[in-house]
Amino acid sequence: MYPKQTLFQTIHAESDREYQRKMSRYHDMSYSNLILHKNENSQYQYFEINMPYLILYENVNPAANSSMYIELSESSIVDAHMDYKAFSSMGGLRLHSHDFYELTFVLSGELNMRIEDEYITYRPGECCLCNKNIHHVEVMDHNTEIVLFLLKEEYLRDLISANYYYDGDGNPHAIGSVFQRFFRENKKNSLYDAKVYTDFRLFNTSPQDQFFDVINRMVDEISGNHSGKSHMMKALFCRFIEMLEISNNYQTEVHWAKLSNDEQIVYKIANAYQNKLGLFSRSEIEELTGYNSDYVERIMKRSTGKTLSAYGKTFLLKKAADMLTDTDKKVGDICELLGYSNRNYFNKLFFKEYGMTPSEYRKS
């Protein structure tokens, strides 16, 4: 078994050796597959990945003013060694969310995370699973070494749909129960994923070496150029998830995040739109939230980057899209049902949101 740090550090040390793999290799963060979408109107950052999954490794030593960042995909490696000040300013230490699930595992040191409106500490061998809509940030202000697994929902569903582990009596058990909980909660509001995260707290330190072994096997596999890489990575992810769910290793607890006052207002509005046809008026917004509509407008802009009207329209257009696929209602009837009297205007809004007309969307 490799020592817990060897493979990540070896990848960085051997970055200039030509014999290595037939993979694209970059030392510039501009080649990162982690895509930041900037919205100057929002206080939050939003990230996407352009592939099914990514593995990130981060190691910081503020006292020595040093940091290491390695990003692994099946086709490329991005590694960067920079001073700690540059590393900390790169992310801006801003709360962010993303279009994937994030599993953060602490290799050494302690990790402080801000999750919505609270701070939580994780120690070596412990990890945190964040849902897509959770605003969070890793506060790496002392010696810390972590690995992050960024997993798109489609990849996760495929991963856990037909994979099982077997108990001592040979009985099969499905893996991924924590992810399934997230999936169920997210279905309750299609445009506002649940504000949930999961802690995995160690009962004892004995299984840590097993996790380091699996992580190193992942790194070895993903950074090679062997056939069957995708299948091997799926198998290793399944093994990792299974180990997390073994009850005598971890205490697992799903939490609803503590929301700031601003986020509570956004949540109320998002939840109310689930049963609303048409846009809320300003007076209805005030009755719903208990605040002046101008104040709510500022909160909405700060939290989502959208006006109240634009935010509401995203819900209406999603309802229109659902009705186009799930019912036989005519486009004109859907327009009227959602409070749009001008079909041409509705078509323009729909095209802007989905890149096609309602009729084209139904056919697709």
Task: Using the predicted structure, report yes or no on whether residue 193 has a pLDDT greater than 80.
Answer: no
146 beta partners? 58, 106
Q: What is the pLDDT of residue 25?
A: 65
45-49, 189-193, 266-270, 274-278 — which is least confidently predicted? 189-193
Q: What is the pLDDT of residue 93?
A: 62
Q: What is the pLDDT of residue 56?
A: 95
Q: What is the mean pLDDT of the chain?
A: 85
Task: Using the predicted structure, report yes or no on whether residue 3 has a pLDDT greater than 50.
Answer: no
Which amino acid is located at 18 in the chain? E
DSSP 301: H
Cα–Cα distances (Å) from 293 to 20, 117, 282, in that order, read 60, 24, 6
Look at the domain 261-363 and name its fold.
Arc Repressor Mutant, subunit A (1.10.10)
Domain boundaries, the chain: 6-256, 261-363
Report how far residue 108's alpha carbon sits from residue 125's, in angstroms, rounded to the nearest whole number.
8
Q: What is the pLDDT of residue 102?
A: 96
Task: Using the predicted structure, report yes or no on whether residue 5 has a pLDDT greater than 80.
Answer: no
Name the packing angle between helices 293-304 and 308-326 (round to 10°).
Answer: 70
> Residue ranges of the alpha helices (H) in the chain?
6-13, 84-91, 153-160, 177-187, 208-222, 229-245, 261-272, 282-289, 293-304, 308-326, 331-337, 343-354, 358-363
Average pLDDT over residues 223-246: 89
Beta-strand ranges (E) seen in 110-153 are 111-115, 118-122, 127-130, 136-139, 144-151
Average pLDDT over residues 325-330: 93
SS3 49: strand
| CB-CB contact of 320 with 358 (8 Å) | yes
Q: What is the pLDDT of residue 207?
A: 63
Query: What digits encode the pLDDT tens for the residues 68-89?
Result: 889 999 988 988 888 888 777 7
The CATH classification of domain 6-256, taken from the options 3.40.50.740, 3.65.10.10, 2.60.120.10, 3.30.479.30? 2.60.120.10
Model pTM score:
0.80
Pairwise pLDDT comparison (150 vs 159), residue with the higher score: 150
Query: What digits encode the pLDDT tens for the residues 128-144?
Result: 999 988 999 998 888 99
Q: Which segment, 34-43, 97-106, 207-216, 250-259, is predicted with the most confidence on average?
A: 97-106
Count of CA atoms in the C-beta half-sphere (13 A) of 79: 19
Q: What is the pLDDT of residue 248?
A: 75
Q: What is the pLDDT of residue 17?
A: 45
56-65, 239-248, 249-258, 289-298 — which is least confidently predicted? 239-248
Phi first, then psi, for residue 61 (nearest 5°) are -140, 85
Q: Which segment, 137-141, 186-190, 244-248, 353-357, is predicted with the most confidence on average?
A: 353-357
Tokens 């960067």 correspond to: 80
Cα–Cα distances (Å) from 43 to 63, 264, 300, 305, in that order, read 29, 15, 10, 8
Query: What digits encode the pLDDT tens for the residues 217-228?
Result: 999 999 888 889
